[in-house]
Structure 1
């Protein structure tokens, strides 16, 4: 698999958005919107960010967006809430979401489908996309909305076999990271940090190798990461994108030549954690890693004994147990979002 293969933006641009979605500029321009919440559908996810202690943002949201329609996710899915709002006479032009990366990713997919501008209000544990967009706090995001600071950003689309394209904002991963997430999900009562620590310990002893095939070439790997935009070449686990407008996928393959311990420590993505893992010589050597920068990629995935799951933007998706075809492509100007 060639390393640092040049991107082909024309190939990515040649594909139109999925039929169920509208172009990112299909809605009214930002300067036609008011700053008091008129035309805003705000969806909150109370389950997001439970491991972080922060003041309740809803009073401030109601004060600054007095005319917004506010819905809290309960028994209804986000898809149903948005579909119901779009069928009303006063359909929204802006979809705002208060939640973590998983909620934001789903909201981005629905914003593209219905031709809405996305307003991201960081309310999760990590808020990778919000931070990449310069929206470190709810107040900063509201300031961007009040200023009408809208820009088009690159997204990715992931397709499993012949399924519908799914919008991706940060990264897609198969292998060790989805396995670790699945283990952590079994221990939600312990919180993300303790649950993650126990999951990592179990993965050190039980991570599975998976087989992938690309362009007729076979490789056995611990993990595959595909992040949006070129990222730090020293990283393997790329959770937070480095660019909002570079229409490429930065692919990292961790070949399964080393130990399970290195397979798990390679998933470290915090700067301090990475520095510590390198100091302890627990990170895999450069010879075990492979990188490609492309506008689109297709892989055949054979999970073997691994749990057949895929992760995108921190959320898990089930995949066929006997293997599947995964196609990813970068979509230029795929989403309009308020950003700094």
Structure 2
């Protein structure tokens, strides 16, 4: 037999616990005794700001106002995770392992007048801080890393002000991070699409200071009088350009074809539908295109950096041109922006109607719910499978982040068609879609489908109307989309300016 008694397991555990508690107290005393004017001035206000989650609610409000979907989702996830963590820490953690608060008598400047009296373990402030920061990181890593540093300072403030031992803060961090990780498993984050793109391909064009070689098709009556002002500005800035008056033209395509035959550069001043028709002739003739905004929205002109007539004039004078993607519908119609079937046009109109005086995300959610209640689906065949589609959006190049509400595209030359659609004919579909819209998690819904592809086709037994670039479109039983990668040369840029986003 051994000459020395073997310690019991309970005795060993007690020794480890006693040792850790002693270490905890020693570290606390070292921090409490450390003289630091910086800590004296900053830690007490920071700890007070984090009380009852005020700091994190303010941060969540700021994230929600950024307009970036990942940060907005992070704000929602952060607030929910913080609430769950606070409940667990205060109602479960503090009751399972009660612990007396530290003796803060040696702390003077940093100590609060009224020290908390609840159980010291775990630190609720630290748990909430870690929960919020980790939850935001699930949706947006850079923001989460930044907030993680703030959360660490909040935890330090609880030690410096004498409210908690270091072990309490560490326990709070573990609890908060654990709840955030569990939440990510139960509700996975949205995977925003991201691709690596080649550099924009510039097209060598000679400068045209006076608009030499330009033939510009323009309707003076377009845009509620905008066309007349645009015509006057072009005539003044580019006196060598030929301007073709479209006010009496009945066949725009034929007129554009005739203009392309004598032009070195084909120009157009009008809305997106007019620009698409003229762009078709420019592609066919192999001519560069210059776009002057003279319509109602001018999405394409803004996206290529020609949001004003002066912008377009400057591009022409400098010879700044790039190659952008062109989308063909049924090998005949050029689409520069978007196409849709079903209720998407209704959704856009409702969103614009609700947008007055409220944030865009709120208007989009209201519009989505309006479409669900009042619009009828269309029956089409996609990839050989018949489906009932309520909402169908298709874009030339990728539009914004993933989800039901496409944002603005950042490039016009990524070589992809952006397809998004919502199917119906499922049990509790309105409730399911509404919950997904409100939570910002439509990307994970089984009713929502998304693809980024170079070509796409829809077939229908009955004629359906295919809208594109603001035009109502024709009735057809087949909609075949094919992308022409960097098939159009335009004066402008293929990277959408930030002012257009």
Q: Which residue of 2 aligns with 1:213?
A: 381
Structure 2 CA distance for partners of 1:166 and 1:284, relative to 1, 3 Å: same
Q: Does 1:300 align with 2:495?
A: no
Mapped to 1, the partners of 2:213 and 2:399 lie a distance apart of 36
Mapped to 2, the partners of 1:5 and 1:333 lie a distance apart of 21
- Structure of higher RCO (CA pairs closer than 8 Å, 6+ residues apart): 1
Mapped to 2, the partners of 1:6 and 1:244 lie a distance apart of 15
1:273-313 Cα offsets, whole Å, 9 max, x none, are: xxxx967x79967413211111111221345xxx8311111
Structure 2 CA distance for partners of 1:169 and 1:125, relative to 1, 3 Å: same
Structure 2 CA distance for partners of 1:217 and 1:6, relative to 1, 3 Å: farther
Mapped to 1, the partners of 2:241 and 2:448 lie a distance apart of 48
Structure-to-structure mapping, 1:182-331, within 5 angstroms: 206-236=374-404, 238=406, 240-256=408-424, 258-259=429-430, 286-287=444-445, 288-302=447-461, 308-320=464-476, 324-331=477-484
1:33-72 Cα offsets, whole Å, 9 max, x none, are: 633122111111345433x979922222111111111122
Structure 2 CA distance for partners of 1:202 and 1:45, relative to 1, 3 Å: farther
- In structure 1, runs of 5+ residues without a counterpart are 10-24, 185-191, 195-199, 264-276
Mapped to 2, the partners of 1:122 and 1:172 lie a distance apart of 20
1:245-286 Cα offsets, whole Å, 9 max, x none, are: 1001111011225459x89xxxxxxxxxxxxx967x799674
Q: Pick from 336, 342, 346: which aligns with 1:175?
A: 342
Computed over aligned residues only, the root mean square deviation of the Cα atoms, in angstroms, reads: 3.8
Deviation at 1:241, TM superposition (A): 3.6
Q: Which residue of 1 aligns with 2:241?
A: 68
Q: Which residue of 2 aligns with 1:30?
A: 205
Deviation at 1:231, TM superposition (A): 2.3
Report the secondary structure of 2:388's partner residue. strand
Please tell me whether the aligned partners of residues 157 and 331 of structure 1 are also in contact (alpha carbons under 8 angstroms).
yes
Please tell me whether the aligned partners of residues 233 and 309 of structure 2 are also in contact (alpha carbons under 8 angstroms).
no
Q: Pick from 70, 73, 80: which aligns with 2:254?
A: 80
Structure 2 CA distance for partners of 1:48 and 1:282, relative to 1, 3 Å: farther
Structure 2 CA distance for partners of 1:48 and 1:234, relative to 1, 3 Å: farther
Report the secondary structure of 1:134's partner residue. coil
Q: Pick from 115, 118, 121: which aligns with 2:289?
A: 118
Mapped to 2, the partners of 1:109 and 1:316 lie a distance apart of 18
Structure 2 CA distance for partners of 1:213 and 1:232, relative to 1, 3 Å: same
Mapped to 2, the partners of 1:5 and 1:177 lie a distance apart of 22
Deviation at 1:107, TM superposition (A): 1.4
Please tell me whether the aligned partners of residues 456 and 481 of structure 2 are also in contact (alpha carbons under 8 angstroms).
yes
More strand, by proportion = 1
Count of paired positions:
277
Please tell me whether the aligned partners of residues 97 and 104 of structure 1 are also in contact (alpha carbons under 8 angstroms).
yes
1:108-164 Cα offsets, whole Å, 9 max, x none, are: 1111122221001111222111121111211011101111001111111111xxxx4
Structure 2 CA distance for partners of 1:219 and 1:130, relative to 1, 3 Å: same
Structure 2 CA distance for partners of 1:54 and 1:286, relative to 1, 3 Å: farther
